[in-house]
Structure 1
Amino acid sequence: MSEKWATLRELLLPGLDGGHRARALERALRDAIRAGRIHGGTTLPSSRDLSGQLGLARGTVTTAYDQLVAEGYLVARRGAGTWVADGVAVGVDAVPPARRPRSGDALDLRPGLPSMAQFPRSAWLAACKAGLAGLSDPELSYPDTAGLPALRAELASYLGRVRAVWARADDLVITHGTFEGLALLADALRRRGHRLVAVEDPSNPEQSELLRRQGLRPVPVLVDEHGLRVDVLAESGCRAVIVTAAHQYPLGMALHPDRRHALLDWARSRDAVIVEDDYDAEYRYDRPALAAMQGMAPSHVVYLGTLSKTLAPALRLGWLVTSVDWIRDEVLAGKRLSDRGCSSLQQAGFAELLRSGGYDRHLRRTTAIYRRRRDAMLAALPGWEPIGVAAGLHVVLRLPDAADDRDVAVRLASHGVLVTPLSEYAGTAPLFPGLVLGYARLTPDRLRTAAARFALI
């Protein structure tokens, strides 16, 4: 018996005393999953193995598994086994769900990903071929830690044209995505004497986890309908803050112009650092794109960007822009010692995609696709209030004030619709109950099917 399944046996046996054994097993498994004692993505033993471990009839285990699959707690697929569904833990001890392939029957509205089906495979292959042909023999050695010079030059031009970022090629560092950029910055800030970093509340919880692992303490600062509360930030004791100014994650509003100016004044008065996470700035539907804050105060704003929302996370390419010498020096020192730079082959491909206009064409095409998907979902959803609909790849559905968004998410999962509760992003008490719904990965028909199931809960 494996150690993992022995632990499962110990978790379930105490709940099987007396009564109807199949229902007792259902209840014991359900309670363990909801409390987070059995994590999302955990593969369960076969019905034959578990019946032998627990001293039950195999039909009893099969009945329990079938019921929990119907309720959305488990996923079963012929030839692949049975495992615990992601995103259904609601207890205080629950851990973030593991990411793993889902059954094709699930309607996955969890946010954070573009449609991988829209990745421009032919254009990317052609760009990589041309980029590789253009690399000199010395450029096939260990890469420039800051990034391939050709890519940094193309990106500086692109970001100035599209996002009003003020940057020279030497101000850019190519990274393996936003989280590597944040980790390098966190290390630089800690070495500079920072111990606190302000984060938006709500925000991505993994961001705060990253800061803690880097020896910094994240300080939640409330967000309202105009974005980050700069007055609260001013009282936090922090001299660094991470903001999603163009499209707050997850609520979706843009930082109000008055708040932008107040935030820049705060940074100037305290010689503070603003980290601008511009994670999905390219996708705007009902309002024009806002210029990046970095162009308004390059000496106080560090700008982060990524291809994970526009092309695909698998590329592991992003960028960090800073004109502050000490930040750039610390970031480059950290990157040199951690990975010695990103792949020159990938960078050459992206540089060619930028140079040829292929990236712009891809963005125009996917913007139209995502707008149609958003519109299809909004038209089919029930009467709850959608928030943050003008941009990005997700919306927030505001639930009635008395609702428990985690419970709503569990009930939707029982109908085959996977969503993320807004409360999972809250650092303190959530502003209101809600669901964060990503629409980029599903076709309009599947989005309408998913929206129709909201009426069943």
Structure 2
Amino acid sequence: MATDRTNSLLAGELLIELRRDAGVPLHRQIESSIRDGIRSGRLRLGTSLPPTRTVAADLNVSRGVVVEAYQQLVAEGYLTSRTGGYTQVAAGPETAPAPAAPKPAAALKIDFGYGRADVSHFPRTAWLRSIRTVLTEAPNERFGYLSGHGVPELREALADYLNRVRGTAADPGNVVICNGYAQGISLVLQVLAKSGARRIVVEDPSSDDDCRPLAAAAGIDVVGVAVDRDGIRVDELDRVEADAVILTPSHQWPTGAVLSAEARAGVLRWARRCGALVIEDDYDAEHRYDRAPIGAIQGLAPDQVVYAGTASKTLAPGLRLGWLLVPGHLVEDVVAAKVTADRGSPVIDQLAFADFLARGEFDRHLRRMRPAYRRRRDALLGALEKYTPEVEPAGIAAGLHLVAWLPPELDEAALVEAAARRGVGVYGVSPYRLGSTGPGGLIFGYATLSERAITEGIVVLAEAIGDLRR
């Protein structure tokens, strides 16, 4: 017991004093007291805080007041909490720290890496409930070899969800389950190559992680069409003959542009004229902060559009759960490619996700995460405005990243290198350009960073900018 006593606190030891006549909400007073205790070193790294019920009883407030204070401090990075476990101090100096091993010069203290969800908030309890339901209730035949479509329970649940939330025109019979976007685009490119396709269009700039190597392996040429503040340039697209175009219309990667209604209609006109396929990568549209999510193009023309979505940005990339909505005339070809690839995705994961969707847990998880991601985005925007007013943020209404355009006198590559030397990882737009020109810019991912780390990183970036200008 003595050892436990040194690492955990009684409620009274938090030293929280509430002033009920101060005009400050009680949960804010609790937050401030704990935050000050952590900053001063009185509440040391790793210390377990008392349960919320105990603190509430000691302070004579409702438990909800304490829960709200704890949750805010978790979001800020001062505390860490796991369902069924202790809430612990996650910031501040360690007691008698051991000498740290020397770090390589390139080690990053703060990394604005993009394309990451905050997997520390994965809904383990709800997911476990779905796994248990599957193992106790799934019919025996589900554990045998299945068709490449995926289990019917998940296809039905996804069609319902996507039609309701993303405005698609999905039929369960046209849903194909795959192992993330990487496999999904691979299956589609294989089908296109088999049908004689020789050229596809991608946005410029755009990610090259999945599409370009796969297209090259299939013997398909890739042509870039420039993106402006409204998405892909339809006037330039009209001058290209191709068999398909890959778009991120609801939140263009990396610029964050939203394809306008006129441009969407223009893309579909181009596709009809060329007999081309539109491949819609809807990678993070559920995370929208300033207005309702923009509906999917697939809902406008389900016979022309392949819609690709995944759980990577909403739950966790390690699940390797993805899905395609495929035009009817291509479904069996895509299913055949899936069967050839791996005989189908793991059945327990599919059934668990189907139950997770049907019980509304996916919606609840997104509702919990949006405010946290928005606070981090707002912290990033506030820090950029305060410390680096010369940059121009864009693509801020949705997603888990934003772009900050640089003034002409700042060299993108030099700034990325200067920030890295100071232990801050930021990433340039230029490596993702195929041939278009445009201003230098930095890509900031914010999903996995605390608000404090975000601010500290931008302060260091501002110092790097100052050094480059001297």
Q: TM-score range by the shorter chain?
A: 0.7 to 0.9
2:334 is paired with a residue of what secondary structure?
A: helix
Give the TM-score normalised by structure 1: 0.77
The one-character-per-residue Cα deviations of 1:243-262 (angstroms, maximum 9, x if unpaired) are: 00100000001101110111
Q: Is the 8 A contact 1:176 1:316 kept in 2?
A: yes
Tell me, yes or no, if structure 1 residue 364 matches structure 2 residue 331: no
The alpha-carbon deviation at position 404 of structure 1 amounts to 2.0
Aligned to 2:85: none
CA gap of 1:233–1:84, structure 2 versus 1, over 3 A, is farther
Counterpart of 1:244 (choices 241, 248, 263) is: 248
Which of residues 300, 305, 312 in structure 1 aligns to 2:304? 300
Q: Does 1:159 align with 2:162?
A: yes
Contact 2:204–2:436 (8 Å) recurs in 1: no
Counterpart residue identity of residue 256, structure 1: S
Q: Which residue of 1 aligns with 2:140?
A: 137
Structure 2 counterpart of 1:452, from 454, 459, 463: 459
Letter in 1 for 2:374: R
Name the aligned partner's letter for residue 410 of structure 2.
A
Residue type of the partner of 1:287? Answer: R
1:84 Cα deviation (Å)? 8.2
The answer for the alignment partner of 2:151 in structure 1 is 148
- 8 Å contact kept, 2:105–2:421: no
Question: Does the aligned pair in 2 maintain the 1:223–1:229 contact within 8 Å?
Answer: yes
Mark the runs of 5 or more structure 1 residues left unpaired by the alignment. 1-76, 86-102
Task: Give the structure 1 partner of residue 191 of structure 2.
Answer: 188
Counterpart selection for 2:443 from 436, 441, 445: 436
| Shift of residue 359, structure 1, vs aligned partner | 0.4
Q: Distance in 1 between matches of 2:360 and 2:412?
A: 43
**Separation in 2, partners of 1:449, 1:143:** 51
The separation in 1 between residues aligned to 2:216 and 2:122, in whole angstroms, is 34
Partner of 2:235: 231
Matching residue of 1:111: 114
> Number of residues paired by the alignment?
361
Aligned 8 A contact 2:312 2:321 in 1: yes
Q: Which residue of 2 aligns with 1:423?
A: 430
Q: Which residue of structure 1 aligns with residue 418 of structure 2?
A: 411
Alignment of 1:163-312 (within 5 A): 163-206=166-209, 207-312=211-316
Query: Are the equivalent residues in 1 in contact too, given 2:205–2:436 (CA < 8 A)?
Result: no
Deviation for aligned residue 1:83: 6.2
TM-score (norm: length of structure 2): 0.75
- In the alignment, which residue of structure 2 is the partner of 1:396? 403
Moved over 3 A (4+): 81-85
**What is the alpha-carbon distance in structure 1 between the residues aligned to residue 424 and residue 105 of structure 2?**
15
Look up the SS of the partner of 2:226 in the other structure: strand
Q: Distance in 2 between matches of 1:360 and 1:131?
A: 20
Identity of aligned residues (%): 41
- Displacement after TM superposition at 1:416 (Å): 1.0
1:216-251 alpha-carbon deviations (Å, 9 max, x no partner): 111001111111111211212212100001000000
- C-alpha RMSD over aligned residues: 1.6
**2:57 counterpart residue number:** none
- Mapped partners of 1:372, 1:209: distance in 2: 36
Cα distance in 2 for partners of 1:453, 1:324 equals 52
Asked if 2 retains the 8 angstrom alpha-carbon contact of 1:202 and 1:430, the reply is no
Q: Secondary structure at the match of 2:308?
A: strand
User: 1:82: how far off?
Assistant: 6.7
Question: Can you give the 5+ residue segments of structure 2 that lack an aligned partner in the other structure?
Answer: 1-98, 465-470
Counterparts of 1:406 and 1:222, CA distance in 2: 21
Q: What does 1:313-352 align with in structure 2 at a 5 Å threshold?
A: 313-325=317-329, 327-352=330-355
Distance in structure 2 (CA, Å) of the matches to 1:251 and 1:222: 11
Cα distance in structure 1, aligned partners of 2:286 and 2:156: 19
Q: Please state how far the C-alpha of 1:429 moved relative to its aligned partner.
A: 3.8
**Residues 200 and 84 (structure 1), Cα distance of their counterparts in 2 relative to 1, 3 Å cut:** farther
Residue 329 of structure 1 aligns to a residue whose secondary structure is: helix
